[in-house]
Structure 1
Amino acid sequence: MVQDKDSGERLQKVLAQAGVASRRHAEQLILAGRVSVNGVKIAVLGHKVGIEDHIEVDGKPVERSERLHYYLLNKPVGVITSVSDPQGRPTVLDLLNDVPVRVYPVGRLDFDTSGALLLTNDGELAHRLMHPSYGVEKTYRVWVQGPVGINALENLRQGVLLEDGNTAPAKVERVSGVSKFNKTKGKPLEILEVTIHEGRNRQVRRMFAAVGYPVLKLDRVRFGHLSPGNALPPGAYRALSKEEIKELRSCVGL
């Protein structure tokens, strides 16, 4: 019979670190009775495991990751933020097909949105980065048909009422009044930068639509302190430096 240990790591944390799922999803797997330790099903949270324990999810052994990997991808338009797609569309993992371990995207970018996307097998870090309580900022460059009125800017800065509730206040700055991305029959396109710390589905697009300025193009230029910049063209990725990893973990209390 498997017994709880006074030492060791919590089962859900080990599953997250192994890249099986985020910590929250790992907890759901446990409660659903899909996880076993040394052949015994574990269906309660709080169970601790040691390095010698054999863990299975849905009958498949969990390979513990001795090394954690962190990558920054400049996601191009036309690629989905998913590990697989039943429709056969390219996924972000297709762009990282030579990475030696299975990594998972932290949060999502829409099919039509480009920019900074973090992928890792560090489930605990991913969980915290996606949780709004840690306040990790994401900055987007937004193209809309301008000029954008002062009232719309103030509404965005104070928070916009969406169908799933009010958004938190956002930082919004004008970047340019006219863009080369001009397909509106001579009407000026304005470029803005908006910074949020929430992660609702299609949030930036819905925010701008709510104040009367539908988004024509959207690019995430920064995730926390990470930015693709000019050195990382669309579709390219790189491993994070030790300093970047340390700063990323520090900002969420790890």
Structure 2
Amino acid sequence: MERLQKVIAQAGVTSRRKAEGLIEEGRVKVNGKVVTELGTKVSDRCKIEVNGIQVEREAPVYFLFYKPTGVISAVEDDKGRKAVTDYFHEIEERVFPVGRLDYDTSGILLLTNDGDFANKLMHPSYHVDKVYVAKVKGLMNKETIQKLERGVQLEDGKTSKARARILSVDKQKEKSIVELTIHEGKNRQVRRMFEALGFPVQKLKRERYGVLELSGMNPGDYRELKPYEVKQLRNQAVTQKSKKR
């Protein structure tokens, strides 16, 4: 038996908090009857409807995908561009990306059909480290690294503290390769952070997401997460939220 709002969230309908609001508003039915009590528990055999549409429950699945550049982080695209789900035709479940990577950015992207899991990882109060490696135009130094780490003022606010280190500097070509670790998910955040400091990004890759890495994978590859990896991600999110408090 699971709480009704959790089942709705896991089915990818909406977040658990918004599911609670739908229940309280009387927009959820269980076996044909309107349910407004948040403590309600349901079994696998219960028929659940949200706004008159039956919720299709699938066994939760979790995938790590090595997103190539030139692919959009969406289920589909109205401009005809290739979407990440185009790589998952053999998967029966209806998966969707957890957050996004820019069209021109490669690296780790998670896909799942577990809405509760996805919302937890994307929520600002849960801090899961994301490690990027950026090739930028210009010669980075200790001073600019410290600016990245203290937070950079962007149009939509100042970024949180980060960790950064220079991996290499090519003085002849005036290029630098920098590793940046953040936990936020602002739109095009990494690119905008570097650009705000005068270092346009030429190439960007997300190499680590929480405990997950791309070891042995090529662009376009995916693999199913092991149960302990899913558990570690959940635990890390909860632990980081507790630290913030």
User: Following superposition of structure 1 onto structure 2, how do residues 1-254 of structure 1 map, counting pairs within 5 Å?
Assistant: 9-24=2-17, 26-27=19-20, 35-40=28-33, 46=38, 48-51=40-43, 52-65=45-58, 67-178=59-170, 187-229=173-215, 231-253=216-238
The one-letter amino acid paired with 1:143 is: K
The one-letter amino acid paired with 2:209 is: F
Cα distance in 2 for residues equivalent to 1:93 and 1:203: 23
Cα distance in 2 for residues equivalent to 1:142 and 1:28: 41
Cα distance in 2 for residues equivalent to 1:32 and 1:110: 36
The one-letter amino acid paired with 1:213 is: F
Residue 176 of structure 1: how far off its partner (Å): 1.5
Cα distance in 1 for residues equivalent to 2:48 and 2:116: 18
Cα distance in 1 for residues equivalent to 2:98 and 2:20: 18
Q: How many residues align?
A: 238
Aligned equivalent of 1:5: none
Aligned equivalent of 2:242: none
Contact 2:3 2:42 in 1 (8 A): no
Cα distance in 2 for residues equivalent to 1:197 and 1:210: 19
Residue 30 of structure 1: how far off its partner (Å): 5.4
> What secondary structure, in the 3-state scheme, does the structure 2 residue paired with 1:142 have?
strand
Quote the RMSD (CA, aligned, Å): 2.4
Identity fraction in percent: 50
Cα distance in 1 for residues equivalent to 2:68 and 2:149: 28
> What secondary structure, in the 3-state scheme, does the structure 2 residue paired with 1:116 have?
strand
Unaligned stretches of 5+ in structure 2?
Answer: 240-245
What are the superposed Cα offsets for residues 133-160 of structure 1, whole Å, 9 maximum, x if unpaired?
2210000010101211333211111011
What are the superposed Cα offsets for residues 143-185 of structure 1, whole Å, 9 maximum, x if unpaired?
1012113332111110111111111111111111139xxxxxx
Contact 1:141 1:194 in 2 (8 A): yes
Cα distance in 2 for residues equivalent to 1:83 and 1:145: 33
What are the superposed Cα offsets for residues 6-41 of structure 1, whole Å, 9 maximum, x if unpaired?
xx5333311122233443554566578754333345
Residue 64 of structure 1: how far off its partner (Å): 1.8
Cα distance in 1 for residues equivalent to 2:135 and 2:207: 13
Cα distance in 1 for residues equivalent to 2:23 and 2:76: 23
The change in CA–CA distance for 1:95 and 1:201 in structure 2 (over 3 A counts) is same
Residue 83 of structure 1: how far off its partner (Å): 1.1
The change in CA–CA distance for 1:162 and 1:10 in structure 2 (over 3 A counts) is same
The change in CA–CA distance for 1:194 and 1:75 in structure 2 (over 3 A counts) is same
- Per the normalisation by structure 1, the TM-score is 0.84
> What secondary structure, in the 3-state scheme, does the structure 1 residue paired with 2:135 have?
strand
Cα distance in 1 for residues equivalent to 2:60 and 2:85: 17
The change in CA–CA distance for 1:191 and 1:11 in structure 2 (over 3 A counts) is same
The one-letter amino acid paired with 2:226 is: S
> What secondary structure, in the 3-state scheme, does the structure 2 residue paired with 1:15 have?
helix
